[in-house]
Amino acid sequence: MRWAPRGLFTRAVGWGARFVLPRPVRKPVYSAFASWVGADVSEVELPLEDYPSIGSFFTRKLRPGVRPVMGDDAAVVAPCDGAVAAVGRCESGTLVQAKGHDYLLSELLADRDLAERLEGGDYVTIYLSPSDYHRVHAPMNLQVRGYRFIPGRLLPVNPTFAEAVPNLFTRNERVVFDLDTEMGPAALVMVGATGVGNISVTYAGAGAEPVETRVLRGSEHVHRHDHHAPVSVARGEELGMFHLGSTVVLVVKGIRRLAVEGVDSLRVGQVIGRVAEAQP
C-alpha cells in the first residue's frame, strides 16, 4: 500500500493552529468547532475569547475539579481522555495494535533493554480524537528517567488506519517516557499523527521551557534526554501534551491486570487498575 506525503499537510495544519485570531471571532469559531467535533466548552479553564489561536484552544487546560484524580496512591489512573483501542499483556515482546496486527514493543520504544524489562507488563492504548482534552498526565506516582523523541511518519492513527496499516505506531513520530514506579518499570508513549506534528514535553524538570518535537524534527536520529537523577512526578501531574488528537500507549509492570476490558472511553484521573500486592 502506498501513502501520499503528509508532511506538507501537517505543516499547513500547524501554521493554521498557530495563527492568531481576532478577539471578536474567537468565541464563535471555537464554539462552532466544539459543536462540530463534540467538545465540551463548559470544561475549559478560560473564557473562549482568551485563547488566541486554534492551537491554544486544542491544548486548553480544564477548570479545577473537572478531572479529579480518583482512588488512593495504589490506584493506577487513566493518563488521558480518549477511546480504549487495545488492552492486554505484553507477551513475547508484542502488543496488539488492532485485530490481526501485532507489533514489537522494542520497535515502539526504540530501546531493546527497556522492552525486555517490560516483558509481561500490562498495556493500554488510548486514541484521542479532536474533541478530547489533549494533555497527558502521570498514571501513578513515578520517576522519569528521561525521554526520547523518535522521528518518523505522520500517518493517521484513527481506528480505521490502525486496522489497515501494519506497524502503524512504530512508523510514526513519537515521544517515549522512560519511567520507574515503586512496583517496577513503565513506559508511556505519545504517538504523533497527521496534523499532530508537535508534541510538547511539559513535566517539571523536563527543562526551563516545554520541549516541542517540531523543534527537534529534521534529523533521522533518536533524540535522547536522560536525567542525571530521576525526576519525581506525582500521580495526576502533567507529563506532556498533543497539539491535536493522537494516541497514547501505556505499559506498566507490577500491577494487577488493567480493568478496562469492555470500557469504551476513559477520562484523565479515572481508575483503571491497582498496583499488585507486595510479596512477603
Share of the chain above pLDDT 70, in %: 86
* 35-78 per-position pLDDT tens digit: 998 999 999 999 999 999 988 998 999 999 999 999 999 999 99
What mean pLDDT comes out for the span 240-244? Answer: 87
Lowest mean pLDDT among 8-12, 123-127, 136-140: 8-12
Positive/negative CA dihedral, 108, 114, 118, 123: negative
pLDDT of residue 4: 37
Mean pLDDT of the chain: 87
pLDDT of residue 280: 35
What mean pLDDT comes out for the span 109-134? Answer: 95
Share of the chain above pLDDT 90, in %: 63
What mean pLDDT comes out for the span 190-194? Answer: 87
What mean pLDDT comes out for the span 95-118? Answer: 94
What mean pLDDT comes out for the span 192-216? Answer: 69
Return the higher-pLDDT residue of 40 and 4.
40
Return the higher-pLDDT residue of 234 and 257.
234
Q: Are 222 and 92 in contact (CB under 8 A)?
A: no
Catalytic site residue 137?
Answer: yes
What mean pLDDT comes out for the span 125-148? Answer: 95
Return the higher-pLDDT residue of 147 and 205.
147
Choosing from 111, 137, 178, 200, which is the catalytic residue?
Answer: 137
pLDDT of residue 10: 56
Global pTM reads 0.90
Judging by DSSP bridges, how do beta strands 211-212 and 135-137 pair with one another? unpaired
Confidence class for position 91, pLDDT limits 50, 70, 90: very high
Instruction: Evaluate if residue 215 carries a pLDDT over 70.
Output: no
Instruction: Evaluate if residue 8 carries a pLDDT over 70.
Output: no
Instruction: Evaluate if residue 194 carries a pLDDT over 90.
Output: no
CA angle 68, 212, 70 (to 5 degrees): 10
Choosing from 56, 81, 122, 243, which is the catalytic residue?
Answer: 81
Choosing from 56, 106, 200, 246, which is the catalytic residue?
Answer: 246
Lowest mean pLDDT among 35-39, 210-214, 260-264: 210-214
Catalytic site residue 225?
Answer: no
